[in-house]
């Protein structure tokens, strides 16, 4: 999925004492995050895997995954707030059709916060029983459930866009040219049409359903957003679930970072016991990435953090 450098366990604290000192307490904001339903997100993950267990690009399952996403956002489509971004990508397997889906929740002030997740499964693993429960499945469900929240509670500040991006995974072997197809395409298109200048932050969700959730401190993420994530974890009572490990992750945030957009990768690469083939975790990119490795609690934590990050980014201004 993505290359990473993982140093030793993190020691010390981030320099966020001023932010922490002025941040409102979780008790003041419990109502906002309480509307996210981790159990519902967990059930959605199972439903997504039932509908499209193997979602590699060009497969029938990939088309079924697209239908699953579109069906859940029919109300937004009826308002003209579901955008289909189809394109063809040059890959080691030839020209492949790919599609990003952008669901828009208009806010009341200029600016956009983007929440993104890839929804497909790994192309090189198409011949094994790889369903990507955590890797693509859990985060697709997370964004759908966040959409349920935003439908009922439209943004009061910046607009929030949910991006279901395609082609995050390598087609042959991970490299800067063979990966991140959907977000590279989208970042370039948004740079051309002026959208990129309106984006306040891009938050990527990846592999956050793991029962043993601990979100990494990613050196490729923007420092002030890492600082806010620590505040968000404190405010929501989830400090124990962040920043155990330092990583340097290549993921869907990079095409936006490279164009100067603030980015944050919310990811837990420590997925299962490490092996020689998978030092980041033995379930990653194997048939073991299944529903029994996930938990509603982890999805609840992730949902709480994303909603609190939206609030804090609006406050950050």
- pLDDT, tens only, 203-259: 999 999 999 999 999 999 999 999 999 999 999 999 999 999 999 999 999 999 999
* % of the chain exceeding 90 in pLDDT: 86
5-57 residue pLDDT tens: 555 444 333 334 433 434 443 334 444 444 899 999 999 999 999 999 999 99
Contacts of range 275-280, beta carbons closer than 8 Å, 24 or more positions apart: 279/6, 280/4, 280/6
Could you tell me what percentage of the chain is helix, strand and coil, using 3-state DSSP and rounding each to the nearest 5?
A: 40, 20, 35
Q: What is the pLDDT of residue 317?
A: 76
CA distance 45 to 65: 11
pTM: 0.91
DSSP string, 4-44: EE--SB--S--S-HHHHHHSPPHHHHHHHHHTS-HHHHHHH
Task: Say whether pLDDT at 98 is over 80.
Answer: yes
Q: What is the pLDDT of residue 278?
A: 81
85 has a pLDDT exceeding 70: yes
Average pLDDT over residues 273-293: 91
Residue 4's pLDDT is what? 60
User: What local confidence, expressed as pLDDT, does residue 13 receive?
Assistant: 38
pLDDT of residue 2: 62
pLDDT, averaged across the chain = 91
How many domains is the chain built from? Answer: 1
- Residue 30: count of CB within 10 angstroms of its CB: 13
DSSP lists the bridge partners of residue 162 as 103, 115
| pLDDT at residue 300 greater than cutoff 60 | yes
Q: Which segments of the chain does DSSP mark as H helices, in order?
A: 17-22, 26-34, 38-51, 60-72, 74-78, 139-152, 181-193, 223-236, 254-257, 296-316
Write out the residue range of the structural domain in which residue 45 sits: 4-316
pLDDT surpasses 50 at 194: yes
Task: Specify the CATH number for the domain of residue 216.
Answer: 3.40.630.10
pLDDT of residue 247: 96
């Amino acid at each position: 999925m993505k290359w990473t450098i993982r140093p030793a366990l993190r020691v010390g604290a981030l320099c966020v004492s001023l932010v922490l000192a002025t941040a409102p307490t979780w008790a003041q904001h419990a109502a906002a995050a309480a509307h996210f339903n981790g159990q519902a997100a967990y059930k959605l993950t199972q439903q997504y895997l039932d509908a499209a267990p193997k979602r590699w690009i060009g497969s029938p399952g990939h088309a079924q995954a697209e239908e699953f996403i579109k069906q859940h956002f029919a109300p937004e489509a009826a308002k003209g707030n579901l955008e289909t971004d189809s394109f063809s990508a040059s890959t080691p397997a030839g020209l492949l059709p790919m599609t990003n889906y952008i669901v828009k929740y208009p806010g009341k002030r200029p600016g956009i916060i983007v929440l993104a997740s890839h929804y497909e499964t790994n192309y090189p693993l198409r011949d094994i029983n790889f369903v990507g429960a955590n890797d693509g499945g859990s985060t697709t469900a997370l964004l759908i459930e966040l959409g349920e929240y935003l439908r009922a509670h439209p943004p009061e500040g910046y607009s929030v866009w949910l991006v279901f991006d395609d082609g995050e995974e390598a087609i042959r072997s991970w490299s800067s040219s063979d990966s991140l197809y959907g977000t590279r395409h989208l970042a370039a298109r948004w740079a051309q049409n002026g959208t990129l200048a309106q984006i306040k932050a891009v938050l990527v969700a990846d592999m956050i359903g793991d029962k043993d959730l601990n979100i990494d401190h990613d050196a490729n993420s923007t420092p002030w957003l890492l600082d806010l994530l620590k505040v968000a974890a404190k405010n929501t009572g989830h400090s124990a679930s962040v920043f155990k490990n330092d990583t340097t992750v290549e993921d869907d945030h990079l095409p936006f970072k490279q164009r100067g957009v603030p980015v944050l990768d919310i990811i837990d690469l420590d997925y299962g016991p490490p092996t020689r083939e998978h030092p980041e975790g033995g379930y990653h990119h194997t048939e073991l990435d299944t529903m029994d490795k996930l938990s509603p609690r982890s999805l609840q934590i992730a949902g709480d953090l994303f909603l609190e990050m939206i609030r804090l980014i609006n406050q950050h201004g």
